[in-house]
Amino acid sequence: MTASNPSSSPLAVAIAAARAAGDLIRPQFGRPLDVAQMLAHDIKLDLDVQSQELITSTLLEAFPSHAIYGEEGIAGDQTSDWQWIVDPIDGTVNFFYSIPHFCISIALRHKGEIVLGVIYDPMRDELWEVEKGGAPKLNGKPFQVSQRTLLSDAVVSVGMSKSPDVAMQATVLLEKYVRRARKCRLMGSAALDLAYVACGRLDAYIEQSVSLWDVAAGQILVEAAGGRFQAVPRADNPDKISVRAWNGIIDLSVE
């Protein structure tokens, strides 16, 4: 699927969609928001849906035969070999609490293989992009994972959700890494954690239960930047995966 016009290449369209969603979301930051669903462990905003609708229309206008698989639902031709994986606001709870740490995450899979990833932080105007075989870039500049070699020098982000099993597993891991790493962080956006691992701000990110849309774009960014990404489906929930991503150098074993 090569586009003759570079401005309509899948990567260019993904970047345009992410920036358009950022322009939608940014002015709402710090304002009273319409809540679609307030759960004990999560918040769904009308803005999540609006952001996904905007991304979906941008992607499907350029590629009408493609499929969309997003946190806020599916669209397009679900039999397509080309599938966009979209998190319209990753870090919704941060956003709702006026913590300026959230992003838009867009990946494209072809026959199951991720072929591009874009993550956009609209508050800092930082955009990570990569396509298969290319150099990953942050705001146009190439980057790589950190070159730290020791866990004792590393900053490790541990993500955690609230279900009792997951919270328990994550707490056990957190306790181990807190003692072995230089510092641990719990930042609230899986996609930004992966973008930060990719460009060397973090050395590792570990989370016991996330969804594909949280991590798909981050996976290709980390791998293209020289790092490693491992995902294992959860036995208790086929829609969730346990993930760890790191610079590929540090030994993360803590047993």
Among 50, 92, 219, 242, binds ligand LIP (CB under 6 A): 92
Among 161, 167, 180, 234, binds ligand LIP (CB under 6 A): 161
Show contacts with ligand LIP in window 214-253 (CB under 6 A): 214
* Short-list 44, 85, 87, 49, CA closest to 67: 85
Cβ partners under 8 Å of residue 254, min gap 6 = 151, 173, 176, 177, 180
Does 71 engage in binding with ligand LIP (CB under 6 A)?
yes
CB of 214 to ligand LIP, least distance (A): 5
Closer CB to ligand LIP, 145 or 217, in the complex: 217
Contact 104, 122 (CB under 8 A): yes
Show contacts with ligand LIP in window 119-148 (CB under 6 A): none
Among 72, 90, 121, 131, binds ligand LIP (CB under 6 A): 90
Contact 13, 61 (CB under 8 A): no
DSSP state of 64: T
* Short-list 241, 199, 242, 249, CA closest to 224: 199
Instruction: Give the whole-angstrom CA distance, residue 216 versus residue 89.
Output: 14
Closer CB to ligand LIP, 9 or 211, in the complex: 211
Among 91, 122, 200, 218, binds ligand LIP (CB under 6 A): 91
Q: Provide the binding-site residues for ligand LIP, judged by CB under 6 A.
A: 42, 71, 87, 90-92, 159, 161, 188-190, 207, 210-211, 214
